Structure 1
Amino acid sequence: MLELDTEGCMPANPSVEQIEGETWPEPASDATYVIRRVHQLRRVPVGELSIEDLRIMLSQSVGTVAILPRVLYLLEENPLSAGDFYPGDLLVATLRLRRDHWSDHVGLLYRAQHLAQRVDAMTNQPNGVQTPELRRMVREFLSN
């Protein structure tokens, strides 16, 4: 649940924490880098999250409802948006979301399917996308 500010207004650029209305405790002192990073990213305004930040959060299935509209917007602008791994790694993280997530968000599913179709067409061109993981995930996503 989105928390309102002290004047009763919605923040212009809320964080996942604000959107979900849930504050997580600090991670344990022996937590992994990824766990510590996800805890930090939940407090960053969604509009300020980098492509790599979004990829990490999707890969950990954290804040997906809050960040997916922004992720899809970025991917519609550039389906091969890259975090730290390879062109299209943000799309791969998106397409790996559990099927039950998509069933609750049909409009977002249609957008993701359209993106996957665009990338699939790009992989079939002679000079197209040659990232094996991306090609595999796109085809798997479209076949389900």
Structure 2
Amino acid sequence: MPANPSDQQSVEQIEGPAWPEPASDATYVIRRVHQLRRVPVGELSIEDVRIMLSQSIGTVAILPRVLDMLEENPLSAGDFYPGDLLVATLGLRREHWSDHVGLLDRARRVAQRADAMTNQLSGAQAPELRRLVGEFLSN
């Protein structure tokens, strides 16, 4: 994967400020996101960035790394199913993409590759993935 200059910094360092520790009764996802904000972006796994995107945390900081991962394999899988990272990426709000046109161009190229690959997928998530890719490309 190509190195991004921000890969050595954490989301917390890029976006600031530091978050307080989560409450003792916080859910797994809340605790995990707090931890992941402190990890250098270049060390985040597919599942780590999938969780963060799904929670809209650190999106601007991690999206270049996410797109590196998806350019390598559009159907990259976190802990759920092939393409779960792409689903989280394509699910970002439209305003995000309008503010980051260069990243949108990269995402469209990934979605085009994924569109060709989704015909080979089976499983319950395949139709939904095809639908999301189609919607993303048509907008």
Q: Considering the TM-score relative to the shorter chain, is it more than 0.5?
A: yes
User: Which residue of 22, 27, 34 corresponds with 1:39?
Assistant: 34
Kindly indicate whether structure 1 or structure 2 has the higher relative contact order, using CA contacts under 8 Å at least 6 residues apart. Answer: 2
Look up the match of 2:114: 119
Q: Distance in 2 between matches of 1:80 and 1:23?
A: 33
Look up the match of 2:60: 65
Look up the match of 1:19: 14
Give TM-score, length-normalised by structure 1.
0.87
Q: Distance in 2 between matches of 1:78 and 1:88?
A: 9
- Secondary structure of the equivalent of 2:8? coil
Q: Distance in 1 between matches of 2:6 and 2:105?
A: 28
Look up the match of 1:102: 97
Aligned residues with identical type, % of pairs: 82
Give TM-score, length-normalised by structure 2.
0.90
Name the one with the larger helix percent: 2
One-letter amino acid of the structure 2 residue matched with residue 39 of structure 1: H
User: Which residue of 49, 53, 65 corresponds with 1:54?
Assistant: 49
- Secondary structure of the equivalent of 1:27? coil
Note the alpha carbon deviations across 1:96-121, whole angstroms, 9 max, x for none: 00000000000000100111111112
Look up the match of 1:30: 25
- Tell whether the 8 Å contact from 2:118 to 2:129 is kept in structure 1 after alignment: no
Deviating above 3 A after TM superposition, structure 1's stretches of 4 or more consecutive aligned residues are none
> How many corresponding residue pairs?
132
Point out the structure with max Rg over C-alpha. 1
